[in-house]
Chains A and B, each alone.
Chain A
C-alpha cells in the first residue's frame, strides 16, 4: 500500500515538472539547505544552553521562548522545500533505508521537542538537576542524525 502511494506521488504531473524543469530541483535544494542552517542555529543555541554552554548569562526560558518560533518557521521551510524533493524522487526515497530512518527520527525529534525538551527548557532553572544536559545532548544527537541520514539519501541510495 505504501509502495503504491509512493508510485502515485512519483507519477504526479508536479513530480514530472520537477524533474523536467532544469532549475526546479537545484533551487529547492538550495532553499532546503538555507532553511536547515536556520533550523540548526535555533536548535543549537538552546541545546548548548541546556548543556550549560553558550549564552549562559541569558535565562534559558527566555532563549527557548524567543528561538522557538525561529525553529518552528525554519522547520516549516524545511518541510515546504523537502516535500517537492520527496515527490519528484518518490521511488528513490521509498527504496532508501536512510529516508525511512530520517523520517522516523524526525517524528521522534518533533515529539521529543514539543514534549520533553520544551518543558525542560521553560522550567525554572536549577530545579531539574542533570535533566537539561541529558535533553540538550539528546536533541543535538537526534537532529544531527536527521541531517546525516538526509545527506546519505543523496549519496548512497
Chain B
C-alpha cells in the first residue's frame, strides 16, 4: 500500500496539483460545498427515519425526490476527495483520521446497502402515518452517527499532530 502511495506521490500530475497555488483551495472548497449537499440531505433523510422531522412526508418520497441530488453531491465530493488524495498521498498515508474516515465511509455504505436491500423493501407498509419499524429507525441512527463521524474525521485530518499515541507508535507515516 505504501509503495502505491509513494508511486502516486511521484507522478508528474500529482506534483503539478500539489505545487499549484489554486488547486488545493479550489478542490477543498468544492469538497466542503458538495459535502453540504450530500450530508445535509442525508441527515434529514436519517432524521425522517428516526422520526425527528418531516413526519408528514411519505418516507418513500425522499429516496425518489432527494437522493438524485444527494448522490450528485456525493459524486462531486468523491471526485474532489480523490483529487485531494491524489495531490498529497503521502500527507494522508500516515494520517490516522484519513484511514478512520475511509473505514467509517465503508461502514456507512454497508449500512446504506443493507437498509436499501433489506428493511426498505417493506416501505409500503410504513410509508406514512404509521410507526417506522425499529430496524429502519436504527439504520437512521447508525447512518446519522456514521456520517457525522465522517465529517468530524475529515476535519481532523488537518490536525496531524493530534493523532492517537498508539497510532504514532506504529510509525506508519515515517
Q: Which A residues fall within an 8 A CB radius of B?
A: 22-23, 26, 29-30, 33-34, 36-45, 48, 53-58, 62-63, 66-67, 70, 144, 147-148, 151-152, 155-156
Contact = CB atoms under 8 A, between A and B. Distances in A.
Interface in B49-68: 53-54, 56-58, 61-62, 65-66
Nearest to A45: B44
Interface of A is mostly: helix
Contacts of B42: 41
Contact of B43 (A26, A29, A38, A57): A38
Given A26-B162, A33-B151, A55 B65 contact: yes
Interface of B: 24-25, 28-29, 32-33, 35-37, 39-44, 53-54, 56-58, 61-62, 65-66, 69, 147-148, 151-152, 154-156, 159, 162
Nearest to B147: A37
B69 A54 contact: yes
B38 to A, nearest CB: 9
Contacts of B152: 30, 33-34
B78 to A, nearest CB: 17
B40 A66 contact: no
Contact of A40 (B36, B54, B65, B66): B36
Contacts of B39: 37, 40-41
A39 B156 CA distance: 21
8 contacts: A26-B156, A34-B151, A37-B36, A41-B40, A44-B69, A57-B58, A147-B33, A148-B33
B40 A44 contact: yes
B25 A30 contact: no
Contacts of A44: 36-37, 40-41, 69
A34 B33 contact: no
A55 to B, nearest CB: 5
Contact of B155 (A23, A26, A39, A148): A26
A43 B37 CA distance: 10
A142 to B, nearest CB: 13
A91 B28 CA distance: 24
Given A55-B62, A58-B57, A66-B56, 18 more contacts: A22-B162, A30-B156, A34-B148, A34-B152, A37-B147, A37-B148, A40-B36, A42-B44, A43-B40, A44-B36, A44-B37, A44-B40, A44-B69, A54-B65, A54-B66, A54-B69, A144-B33, A147-B36
